C-alpha cells in the first residue's frame, strides 16, 4: 500500500464527508493505493456515525474510536501502530489542511529519501493570540533541538513507515514528533510550504494551556533524549559542582576565621555570615542531586529497554 492518511478527530462530524471525498479524489487522480485511518478521540457528536456511513461509500476508510478523549498524541500513536502504508500522511480533520498537498509530499519523501517532511503554514488564518506564541515556541524548539523547521506543530506531515513504527508518541508530544524522530536516529527531516485554509466548520479545540504543556513537553523531550540512559551524567555533574562550590566557600570562611585568630584581630562568627548558610545549602543540594542521579541510574540499569538500540541494517 502506498499511503496511509491518518486523521485524528474530535467532534468534527460536519467536515468528515467533504474531507473524505476530497482525499479519495486526489488518490484516484494519482493512482495511489491507500487507506484513510480515522481515530475518533472520544467525540460527543455524530462523528462516529458519519464515519460508519462513509465506510459504506469508501472501502478505504478504517477507524478507531476511543471511549473518552485521550488527546491527539494518543490518537496518533494508535494510528501509527495500525497503519499499513509505506508513507504515512497525518492531517487534521477540520479542512484547514489541503489533501491536494499529499502527492507532492509523497513524491519528495520517496525521491529525496527523506524520513519526515513537515508542512509549513507560511500564511496563516489564525488570530494573533495564537500565531505569536506559536512563533516563540517554534524558535525555542529550533534552538533546543537543532532542527531547522519553521512550523513544528503543523498537522500536515509525511513520514516513512519505519519512522512511525519506531517512535512512541505520548502526553502531548505530537508537537515534537520531528524531535523524537531525530533522537531515534532519523535525521533526514525536511519542510514544505503548504496551504493553510480558514476553518470552515466548528471551533478550535485548543486553549492557552497547550502552550504551557508544549513547553514542558519540550523540556521533557530534551532531557530524556539527552540523558535518558545516563541520568548520572546530568544529576551527578550538577551535584558534584554544587557540592564543590559549597565546600570551597565553607573552607574559605573557616580559614578566614583561623587567620584572624592567629593574627589576634577581630572577626565575625561563622554563623553570623550569610556565606556560611549559602555554602551549607550548596553542600546539601549537591548531595541530594548526586543521590538523585545514583537512584535514577539504578532505575535505568534495571529497565527492560536499557540496552535496546535501533539497528538500521545488518550483515551477519
CATH of the domain at 66: 3.90.550.10
CA-based nearest residue to 199, from 101, 127, 135, 122:
127
Cα 311–314–316 angle (5° rounding)? 140
CA-based nearest residue to 72, from 161, 148, 155, 162:
155
Residues 173, 247: one domain? no
Number of domains comprising the chain: 2
Residue 313 resides in a domain: no
The C-alpha atoms of residue 82 and residue 104 are separated, in whole angstroms, by 24
Tens-digit pLDDT profile for the chain (316 aa)? 899 999 999 999 999 999 999 999 999 999 999 999 999 999 999 999 999 999 999 999 999 999 998 889 899 999 999 999 999 999 999 998 999 999 999 999 999 999 999 999 887 766 666 677 778 878 888 887 888 899 888 889 999 999 999 988 877 788 889 988 988 889 999 999 998 887 776 666 555 566 666 677 777 767 766 666 677 878 888 899 999 999 999 999 989 888 888 888 888 888 888 888 999 999 999 999 988 888 877 776 665 554 454 545 454 4
Residue 59 resides in a domain: yes
Residues 240, 145: one domain? no
Residues 214, 277: one domain? no
Where is the domain boundary, 181, 196, 227? 227
Residue 310 resides in a domain: no
Give me the pLDDT at residue 132, please: 75
Where is the domain boundary, 227, 257, 287? 227
The C-alpha atoms of residue 246 and residue 78 are separated, in whole angstroms, by 49
Residue 29 resides in a domain: yes
How, if at all, do strands 116-120 and 61-65 pair?
unpaired
What sign results for the dihedral spanned by CA atoms 30, 34, 39, 44?
positive
Backbone angles phi, psi at 7, to 5 degrees: -130, 100
Side-chain half-sphere of 84: how many Cα atoms within 13 Å?
A: 9
What residues are paired with 87 via a beta bridge? Answer: 3, 160
Task: Determine the structural domain holding residue 136 and report its residue range.
Answer: 3-227
Residues 9, 158: one domain? yes
Residue 247 resides in a domain: yes
The C-alpha atoms of residue 302 and residue 292 are separated, in whole angstroms, by 16
Residues 281, 182: one domain? no
Residues counted in the chain: 316
pTM: 0.73
Residue for grid cell 487534521? 92
Euclidean distance between the first and the last CA atom of the chain, given in angstroms as a whole number: 30
Torsion of CA 78, 81, 85, 90, to 10 degrees: 30
Backbone angles phi, psi at 38, to 5 degrees: -85, 140
Residues 211, 77: one domain? yes
Residues 9, 87: one domain? yes
Residues 202, 237: one domain? no
Give me the pLDDT at residue 313, please: 47
Residues 217, 238: one domain? no
CA-based nearest residue to 97, from 153, 143, 137:
153
Q: Are 36 and 60 in contact (CB under 8 A)?
A: yes
Where is the domain boundary, 227, 259, 282? 227
Amino acid at each position: 500500500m502506498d499511503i496511509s492518511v491518518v486523521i485524528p478527530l474530535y467532534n468534527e462530524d460536519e467536515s468528515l464527508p467533504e474531507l473524505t471525498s476530497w482525499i479519495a479524489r486526489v488518490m484516484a487522480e494519482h493512482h495511489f493505493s491507500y487507506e484513510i485511518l480515522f481515530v475518533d478521540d472520544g467525540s460527543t457528536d455524530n462523528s462516529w456515525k458519519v464515519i460508519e456511513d462513509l465506510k459504506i461509500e469508501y472501502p478505504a476508510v478504517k477507524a478507531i474510536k476511543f471511549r473518552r478523549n485521550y488527546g491527539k498524541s494518543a490518537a496518533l500513536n494508535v494510528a501509527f501502530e495500525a497503519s499499513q502504508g509505506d508513507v504515512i500522511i497525518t492531517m487534521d480533520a477540520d479542512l484547514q489542511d489541503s489533501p491536494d498537498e499529499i502527492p507532492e509530499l509523497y513524491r519528495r519523501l520517496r525521491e529525496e529519501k527523506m524520513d519526515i517532511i513537515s508542512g509549513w503554514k507560511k500564511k496563516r488564518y489564525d488570530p494573533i493570540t495564537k500565531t505569536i506564541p506559536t512563533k516563540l515556541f517554534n524558535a525555542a524548539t529550533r534552538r533546543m533541538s537543532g532542527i531547522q523547521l519553521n512550523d513544528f506543530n503543523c498537522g500536515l506531515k509525511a513520514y516513512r513507515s519505519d519512522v512511525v513504527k519506531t517512535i512512541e508518541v505520548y502526553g502531548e508530544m505530537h508537537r515534537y514528533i520531528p524531535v523524537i524522530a531525530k533522537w531515534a536516529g532519523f535525521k533526514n527531516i525536511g519542510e514544505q510550504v503548504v496551504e493553510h485554509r480558514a476553518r470552515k466548520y466548528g471551533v478550535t479545540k485548543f486553549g492557552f494551556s497547550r502552550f504551557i504543556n508544549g513547553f514542558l513537553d519540550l523540556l521533557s523531550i530534551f532531557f530524556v533524549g539527552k540523558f535518558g540512559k545516563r541520568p548520572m551524567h546530568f544529576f551527578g555533574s550538577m551535584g558534584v559542582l554544587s557540592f564543590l562550590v559549597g565546600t570551597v566557600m565553607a573552607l574559605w570562611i573557616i580559614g578566614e576565621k583561623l587567620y584572624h585568630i592567629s593574627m589576634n584581630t577581630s572577626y565575625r562568627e561563622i554563623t553570623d555570615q550569610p556565606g556560611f548558610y549559602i555554602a551549607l545549602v550548596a553542600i546539601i543540594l549537591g548531595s541530594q542531586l548526586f543521590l538523585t542521579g545514583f537512584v535514577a541510574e539504578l532505575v535505568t540499569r534495571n529497565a527492560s529497554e536499557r540496552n535496546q538500540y535501533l539497528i538500521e541494517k545488518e550483515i551477519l
